């Protein structure tokens, strides 16, 4: 194969180093005269990029600037993300990625990822040969129907797989060439998009039923034929499909759903950390969920398993978990009104609304997964503070605009006693002379490490036991000093080490459960560390 040189090299983002090419490289690669004289180190290049980035007036402009950097110099892009993760992750992913998806058609520049539509039925395996990488190990796929808390954005939802895989690379060190974002573009129920002349997706109402399932079946068969050990992450599917697809595929292929299992693990981790502050043993907790979709019930199932690990029976564990949906407390008297995924959490109890439920159940932990901002009103938070010295309040809906309450509200309404976590980031809060650092229960603490661990041991399946191990390992990484400041999770700047620890816990489970196809190494941490991509040059 001919070597890439000259202008063609400078146009190739995986090879281009821009002004970072040395004099010797410029001479050897046909670049003399094509670049300014002075060779800039990668550190200087980062300073230039950050100066440009920080001069932008809006987060969406910052998103576009980073996207453009990835299009021209991939190594520099990932080096900047790694070094400045606290500042840049809210741009690359939530909350800014939500706006980027809304505006995807108008900010589109260059193609990233792979698109499959109903018109491609019968051709998907052949189409995959168009993808240039022969060693894909992680796929993030969405159908765009439930993008964050924003609803059906159709093929504009491609911003989510792109963003997730950027975090796989920057936080866990998965090599960029191993990553493939996929949009299963089966149409949209968003009439505004269908009328938009800029919309680039398959311009029809959503395909459902047998035709949808047949396309998914063909997709899974095609990707596992081309890349037999690939991990498939389902992302931002509507509740019914999310639960159904996970149930169909979890025992048939290497896959997981981050909205269900990743969210469950990061939430369990935050609750475990909160017990160290509140002083209530985990097995004594009562947990009230507001929202009963796939994310909330996924958390509930992992919590139930954790209660059983702490000595409760399965029936006792379920009795610790209560759910409120749009119609009130989920109780058995509602009968046929309950969707199947809610039925296992229905109790023999009088029907009641949220505030009455708090007074009656006296939960230690309140978890919001509603996508409805303002659900945790002042009265709700004050009632939680009335029944707990240190109430745990988790407002998990994304993006920030959809959070059930803000960090400032949680601290103010609880008299500074709340143990607060959110799905999207909030800035530090000053309250009565003290600075609180709100915890962000971001799935980015979990899924990149899960991916690294699964890849490293060549796992056959992803199990709930792996997510349990990931949650416990993450909780163990939070120091007493961090808890004192209100941070229920370790600093995001430590994400590489966090992901390595999560990967280690996941791989250990795979080896123990006999699900690893790789030989168990003498030094698993070293193997994991050696796998991590380094974008420096």
Catalytic residues: 93, 164
Tell me the three-class secondary structure of 97-154, residue by residue: HHHHHHCHHHHCCCCCCEEECHHHCCCHHHHHCCCCCCCCCEEEEECCCCCCCCCCCH
Give the Å distances, CA to CA, from 18 to 10, 11, 78, 210, 537: 7, 10, 15, 49, 11
CA distance 199 to 250: 33
CA distance 360 to 131: 56
Tell me the three state secondary structure of residue 459: strand
Check the CA dihedral 484-488-493-494 and report its sign.
positive
Q: Where are the beta strands (DSSP E) in 189-253?
A: 231-234
Nearest to 143 by CA among 121, 168, 116: 116
Neighbour count for residue 55 (Cβ, 10 Å):
10
CA distance 193 to 204: 10
Residue reference for tokens 């997964």: 369
Nearest to 258 by CA among 161, 401, 403: 161
Let me know: does 11 contact 73? Beta carbons within 8 Å. no
């Amino acid at each position: 194969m001919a070597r890439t040189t000259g202008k063609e090299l400078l146009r190739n983002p995986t090879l281009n180093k821009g002004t970072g090419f040395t004099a010797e490289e410029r001479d050897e690669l046909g670049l003399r005269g094509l670049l300014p004289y002075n060779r800039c180190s990668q550190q200087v290049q980062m300073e230039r990029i950050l100066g440009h980035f920080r001069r932008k007036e809006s987060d969406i402009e910052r998103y576009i600037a980073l996207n453009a950097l990835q299009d021209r110099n991939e190594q520099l892009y990932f080096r900047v993300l790694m070094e400045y993760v606290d500042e840049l992750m809210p741009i690359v992913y939530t909350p800014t990625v939500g706006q980027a998806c809304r505006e995807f058609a108008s900010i589109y520049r260059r193609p990233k990822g792979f698109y499959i539509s109903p018109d491609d039925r019968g051709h998907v395996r052949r189409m995959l040969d168009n993808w240039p990488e022969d060693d894909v190990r992680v796929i993030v796929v969405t159908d765009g129907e439930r993008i964050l808390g924003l609803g059906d954005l159709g093929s504009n939802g491609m911003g989510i797989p792109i963003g997730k895989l950027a975090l796989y690379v920057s936080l866990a060190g998965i090599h960029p060439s191993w990553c493939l974002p996929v949009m299963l573009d089966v149409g949209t129920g968003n009439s505004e998009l269908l009328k938009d002349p800029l919309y680039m997706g398959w311009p029809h109402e959503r395909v459902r039923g047998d035709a949808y399932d047949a396309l998914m079946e063909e997709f899974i068969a095609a990707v596992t034929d081309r890349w037999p050990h690939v991990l498939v992450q389902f992302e931002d599917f509507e509740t019914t499909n999310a639960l159904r697809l996970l149930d169909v595929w979890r025992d048939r292929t290497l896959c997981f759903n981050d909205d269900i299992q990743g969210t469950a693990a990061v939430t369990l981790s935050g609750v475990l950390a909160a017990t160290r502050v509140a002083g209530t043993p985990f097995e004594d907790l009562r947990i009230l969920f507001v929202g009963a979709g796939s994310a909330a019930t996924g958390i509930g199932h992992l919590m139930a398993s954790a209660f059983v690990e702490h000595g409760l029976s399965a029936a006792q564990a379920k009795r610790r978990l209560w759910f409120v949906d749009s119609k009130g407390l989920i109780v058995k008297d509602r009968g046929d009104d309950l969707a199947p995924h809610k039925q296992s959490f229905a109790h023999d109890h009088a029907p009641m609304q949220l505030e009455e439920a708090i007074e009656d159940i006296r939960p230690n932990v309140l978890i919001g997964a509603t996508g409805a901002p303002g659900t945790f009103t002042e009265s709700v938070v004050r009632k939680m503070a009335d029944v707990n010295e240190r109430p745990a309040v988790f407002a998990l809906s994304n993006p920030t605009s959809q959070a059930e309450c803000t960090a400032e509200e949680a601290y103010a309404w609880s008299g500074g006693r709340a143990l607060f976590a959110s799905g999207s980031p909030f800035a530090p809060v000053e309250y009565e002379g003290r600075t609180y650092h709100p915890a962000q229960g971001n799935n980015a603490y979990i899924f990149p490490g899960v991916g690294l661990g699964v890849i490293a041991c060549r796992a056959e399946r992803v199990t709930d036991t792996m997510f349990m191990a990931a949650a416990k390992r993450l909780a163990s990484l939070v120091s007493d000093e961090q808890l004192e400041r209100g941070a229920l999770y370790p600093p995001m700047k430590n994400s590489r080490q966090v992901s390595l620890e999560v990967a280690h816990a996941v791989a250990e489970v795979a080896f123990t459960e006999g699900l690893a196809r790789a030989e168990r190494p003498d030094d698993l941490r070293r193997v994991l560390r050696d796998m991590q991509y380094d974008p420096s040059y």
